[in-house]
Amino acid sequence: MFPLSLSGFSNPKNFAMPSNLTIRDRTFEWGRRTYLMGVLNVTPDSFSDGGEFHSTAAALAQAQALQAAGADIIDVGGQSTRPGAEQITVSEELDRVLPVIQLLRQKITLPISVDTTRAEVAKAAIQVGADIVNDISGGTFDPEMLPAVAKLNVPIIIMHIRGNPQTMQKITDYQNLMEEISNFLARQIAAATAAGIDSEKIIIDPGIGFAKNYEQNLEIFRRLPELRKLNCPILVGPSRKSFIGRILDQPDPKARVWGTAAACCAAIFTGADILRVHDVHEMRDVCLVADAIFRQSS
Task: List residues with catalytic annotation.
Answer: 241, 276
Collapse the DSSP code of 74 into the 3-class scheme (helix H, G, I; strand E, B; otherwise coil) and give the result.
strand
Question: Residue 213 has what DSSP assignment?
Answer: -
Partnered with residue 116 across adjacent β-strands are none
From residue 158, alpha-carbon distances to 9, 129, 145, 155, 295 in Å are 24, 20, 11, 10, 25
The amino acid present at 76, given as its one-letter code, is V
**Distance separating alpha carbons of residues 18 and 16, to the nearest angstrom:** 7
- In total, the chain counts a number of residues equal to 298
What ranges in 109-237 are assigned the alpha helix state H?
Answer: 119-127, 145-152, 177-195, 214-223
Question: Residue 88 has what DSSP assignment?
Answer: P
Phi-psi region at 138: left, alpha or beta (left = phi > 0; alpha = psi -120 to 50):
left
